[in-house]
Homo-oligomer: A and B are copies of this chain.
């Protein structure tokens, strides 16, 4: 099998990182990215000398790109036609429309969390239900919070069995650089239960989940607290032992300097990670407490980049590159350098 050819629709916060992620996979080839307007991200692509080819979606005004001196490689449909699979990170709702083109061109696709579940054959998470995605045409990834949350719950579930979780999502409200949304000096409630709890139950139907979500005026990473009820009592040490084995969970402590969500962002920049991104969730060892027979802990979700590894897993599943769950995630982890800090 030659390299799997991949395209990206929507070169925004997520799309850029999907493109970077694909470019790092030794068994995949990034054919190009598609977008609508000469945004800052597209201008940055140009300033870097177009490391990724750019295609224009329907409705784009090519003269705007010409005016900026941004070379265009073709139309969205031409990109779709060249690839085995599209990663769709268009704004919410647009993916459903794009799907018609994917079907027309007989191209597989993976949609990000903003689309409705009905857009896809399978609601997918690399660690929790990889097998369901194998050979499927259309996958939908879990959203950033759900992706990270499920990593930790699946980790405990496979080790000890989990029956029930109650989560509190302390959500960042915007990404660094966002001006189209924001919150100032306010915490904002969502109606309960949060969609992340509902989504967890869709992916892991044997677990009962509920939760409350509160928006906070910060940009660097969500924090989720989880109260998990095991099939057996899970002690703090048992939880820690399980988390420490996971290549996409970075176990840290406050004393080391990981004081909150912004510490992870700082650390990723200090590591020299491209864009200051981190693929792992953070898990505070000193947040783990026993609540009777339940176990409680807190995780950090780097919202911009956390879904990239599971999307790479999704390509492996949908394109039949690997049928074994653990081999597939290990392949993704190898190319992204995950777990090597341990």
Give A contacts to B, CB under 8 Å: 16, 39-41, 43-45, 47-48, 163-164, 166, 168, 170, 172-174, 176-179, 181-193, 208, 210-212, 214-221, 223, 225, 227, 229, 254, 256-263, 265-267, 269-272, 274-276, 284, 286-292, 294, 296-298, 341
Contacts and interface: CB of A to CB of B under 8 A. Distances in A.
B286 A191 contact: yes
A223 B214 contact: yes
Contacts of A257: 39-40, 43
State the main secondary structure of chain A at its contact with B. mixed
B219 A185 contact: yes
A118 to B, nearest CB: 25
Contacts of A43: 256-257, 267
Contacts of A261: 186-187
Contact of A290 (B45, B188, B210, B258): B210
Given A166-B291, A262-B177, A289-B210, A271 B185 contact: no
A262 B210 contact: no
A261 B296 CA distance: 25
B262 A179 contact: yes
Nearest to A222: B187
A192 B288 contact: yes
Given A185-B184, A260-B188, A296-B192, A170 B270 contact: no
A193 to B, nearest CB: 5
Contacts of A270: 16, 40-41, 44-45, 275
B260 A179 contact: yes
A291 B297 CA distance: 17
Nearest to A221: B187
Contacts of A254: 189-191
Given A164-B292, A187-B221, A214-B260, 11 more contacts: A40-B270, A168-B225, A170-B216, A174-B184, A176-B220, A186-B218, A188-B259, A190-B254, A210-B291, A272-B274, A276-B276
A112 to B, nearest CB: 18
Contacts of A210: 289-291, 296
Question: Nearest 6 pairs between A and B by C-beta?
Answer: A177-B266, A44-B270, A186-B262, A185-B185, A168-B168, A182-B184
A174 B262 CA distance: 12
Given A178-B262, A189-B284, A272-B48, A225 B212 contact: yes
B187 A182 contact: no
A260 B286 CA distance: 29
Given A40-B263, A40-B266, A212-B296, A184 B188 contact: no
A177 B262 CA distance: 4
Contacts of A259: 179, 186, 188-189
A333 to B, nearest CB: 16
A229 B292 contact: yes
A122 to B, nearest CB: 27
A151 to B, nearest CB: 18
22 contacts: A16-B270, A45-B270, A164-B291, A166-B291, A170-B187, A173-B182, A174-B185, A177-B186, A177-B265, A177-B266, A181-B184, A185-B220, A186-B218, A186-B260, A187-B221, A188-B259, A190-B254, A191-B254, A208-B292, A212-B298, A216-B216, A216-B218
